[in-house]
A and B are shown apart, each in its own frame.
Chain A
């Protein structure tokens, strides 16, 4: 589970890196000054961090060659996500009852793991890490038997003996996910002794634990890679691979055994990685971690933070939001990731789940208790992830549908295509016309040359979902008028959501996008052009595995797409 999240804001910030500026940017009328995201003095690091990389994420990198200039050992830091941090603490200290308040994850280019490689930690975040580490240490040291077991030896009161040294070495290694060097050991021993002098041995050891947990070597994933002459890519060393494998497949840091395998050189080859990955893939948490990926792709969690007009949608409340999200999570885990399932069911499955709260919205009678699996008949016009109420409601305005917004979501998240930038300063309100359908209203987007370049890409995809209102409920008509949900995707005609789902299931761009997305989630960065061939071969792998996702993952971790990174241009100004 994620760390306890705040009541004020969602724990996950959906910083959709693709700045979908063109959506709704065309309403005609008054020209606005450009929308200031930041005033003067505003820190731009998060914003620009998200968008610069994402510029590569579109259909092409704009013809700009990626110049390999610097092949030196390059590191790329990823901050632990909330889930990774919480799991790591549990692994290091045992189960903790203390709720920990942690800095929020930020999603960039669709994934918190990409955000984790770009966000900078600010003072409030440091303070949260500080409080969390001290609270965790305090819980451990409140129980004498517990901390003595953790420390493994009985130190002198002033920590003057070797007990603290061996503890720093063993605890530090598990926290840093590598061996500590001598000076690192010495420094933490010194911290322990200073604190022990002020108080006692417990406080000294607690200070060591809390300090190590505040250290950047714990909080960040410091990875190391070197140029591999054969592939021309930067290959991760064994220790880095241990951490990468463990977090990707289990969400947890590497076990002692995995670190030992790395130290023995066993993670230097594809076969060694395959062997090491097998137990992780067979563990119960593996499917959960994979489900998180699909959950992020579908942005299902947004449904828990949107609000709807209480007048139009009185049934939309926290309980319904929660049921919607759970139903989508069940769909992902039990349908898309079922043991031998075809992953394309993500787009076109006729299965879903409802509980008593959600059943009326789907027009079915409620189950006696909990969630029940349901086969969606053709009359429901619903299928796959886009038919999930969580997704439909999450990508709608409070009081009306936004085919543009839904279309941008499909284009970006399911087809990995970024709409072009909008024209400067266009006023965005769409006129209210009670005697038209939304599609008729938005026709002006497609009529205006300024707007159509962008909107012709997104609006038609969104129109496919027009049979579902702002909370994902079926509607036969809009304003008493018939709904036109027809369109084409890469030459394949569709009429309605289920039909678009089928088209996506057979669409090569959609499948390629799914693999690009997985590459992003696994590596914490947006794929570069140099990765295109690798991602292409993953598509073949997926097909050869009968489209079973977990089999793809097993191959993915042994591939160069995960064991290495492309040589990219170094930072600007450092040619």
Chain B
């Protein structure tokens, strides 16, 4: 059981700990409030930002690798390269905001003899995708059941230029249903790409309603005369007053503490302030267009359950679109600047019977047959069914990119231009290899990135990409990240930069 916006109306649901409070924070959104007597308690942190463009990071995980028709036939920039059949959904104006990177490899999970074909692979490669460490080795070293490394999105979210700038330092979202095996690894490896540190997987939210509540706090409830909104505003004011007193109390006691405890108290104070910031921020003031509330069946997520049935009436397309709307909302309203998203859990066994099989060549595809089968079977069967599922997932990411590109946040600059969308997978495809990984970047044009390129890289470590994006695009200075046991030195992927 957990509680809604203000902990006052119990709402029976299985509880879970996903790293963020699921308290709906922003109750009253979408309603213009005129309550002058509340002004003394009005948000104080709003508008603290300078004029600099927000920098955003959106890694999106493609499970089960990509079909070989992912890779465009020609490399180069502009008209020198064309989209492959699977990347075709990025056509039109989006291509001009795209980078396709071929030849990246995740050496952190290579075998001891430096070969790239890893077994068992699914959980292990997914776990390493955004962390670039081998979870197996970390677990052995720490003598624990479950571990990984901090993930790239969390390095960004925890950095001083991101942390505390928005109501949520980061969000973890996904479309998993979940069906699939964890392939001998702790399920955190295949079901959570974000890790706050070596011990803390940040499980994602999968039900769009839950994400909606988190972001906009129950503003969807019918409220014809506005009383619910007024009550919500009062509650928010009360909660803020309480948090103020908690802060003062801690600050007073802090002065009596030893230095080490003062530092711990500073973390406590910072944490309380972060919560207060969420309470005080309000997208009601930001005139954010709220998306329609997801109407599909409830989607349960579990880190450990081996398989669950797909709820009656579930529609993967609807699920994907609802989540994309919420991602766009969160960015547009600056509720967060870092989101990790998973199109499915690794080794997903979801049956894509919502998608009709198509016939693929390297350059194009056309309608072919009936519904697609189960994802993991399709992956290893290869051929058109695997290509179709990959293509469909690419399409959903392309749709999301279009949404972001339709929101102008400065003259001639869209949300996508200030966002690095990274679509990638932990393995190449049906082969379970951790080299020649599928990687597409979209956006970032206003953050110093070149666009409209297909880059052929020669066995470059995946971590080079992350370190480049952090340092040169997102403004997060790091000198190292993850591991790479091929011995390749850390280097920037300068081809991406203007």
Q: Which residues of A contact B (CB under 8 A)?
A: 4, 6-9, 13-16, 19-21, 23-25, 29-30, 32-33, 35-43, 45-47, 74-77, 98-99, 101, 104, 120-128, 130-135, 138, 183-184, 187-188, 190-191, 194-195, 198-199, 203, 207, 210-211, 214-217, 222, 302, 305-307, 398, 405, 408, 427-429, 570-571, 574
Contacts and interface: CB of A to CB of B under 8 A. Distances in A.
B491 to A, nearest CB: 16
B482 A36 contact: yes
Contacts of A427: 112
B237 interface: yes
A74 B259 CA distance: 10
17 contacts: A9-B303, A19-B143, A30-B485, A39-B480, A40-B478, A75-B256, A75-B257, A77-B257, A98-B1, A123-B169, A123-B271, A130-B21, A130-B243, A133-B7, A184-B252, A199-B238, A216-B250
Given A130-B7, A134-B3, A194-B241, 10 more contacts: A7-B303, A13-B199, A39-B131, A41-B150, A126-B274, A135-B7, A184-B252, A191-B245, A199-B234, A199-B238
Contacts of A574: 259
B249 A184 contact: yes
A130 B478 contact: no
B321 interface: no
A14 B144 contact: yes
A8 B18 contact: yes
B295 interface: no
A380 to B, nearest CB: 28
Contact of B272 (A20, A126, A195, A222): A126
B47 interface: no
A75 B478 CA distance: 36
Contacts of B20: 124, 127
A29 B239 CA distance: 58
A130 B275 contact: yes
B246 A214 contact: yes
Given A35-B137, A38-B198, A216-B249, A7 B304 contact: yes
Interface in B238-279: 238-239, 241-243, 245-246, 248-250, 252-253, 256-261, 263-265, 267-268, 270-272, 274-275, 278
B150 A38 contact: yes
A346 to B, nearest CB: 23
- The A interface is mostly helix, strand or loop, or mixed, namely loop
B476 A41 contact: yes
Contacts of B10: 98, 135
Interface of B: 1-3, 6-8, 10, 14-21, 23, 112-114, 131, 133, 137-138, 140-147, 149-152, 154-155, 158-159, 169, 184, 186, 196-199, 201, 203, 234, 237-239, 241-243, 245-246, 248-250, 252-253, 256-261, 263-265, 267-268, 270-272, 274-275, 278, 302-304, 476, 478-485
Nearest to B270: A123
A49 B261 CA distance: 12
A483 B453 CA distance: 62
A207 B242 contact: yes
Given A16-B144, A42-B155, A131-B2, A4 B15 contact: yes
Contacts of B186: 307
B226 to A, nearest CB: 16
Nearest to A45: B267
Nearest to B21: A127
B271 A121 contact: yes
Nearest to A16: B143
B141 A6 contact: no
B238 A195 contact: yes
Pick from B16, B246, B259 the residue with the most CB of A within 10 Å. B246
B302 A7 contact: yes
B253 A9 contact: no
Given A30-B485, A37-B138, A46 B257 contact: no
Contacts of A207: 238, 241-242
B483 A36 contact: yes
Given A35-B133, A121-B267, A6 B16 contact: yes
Given A42-B158, A76-B258, A7 B1 contact: no
Rank and list the top 9 A-B pairs by shortest CB-CB distance, nearest first: A127-B21, A134-B7, A120-B267, A6-B17, A40-B478, A123-B274, A211-B242, A39-B150, A571-B259
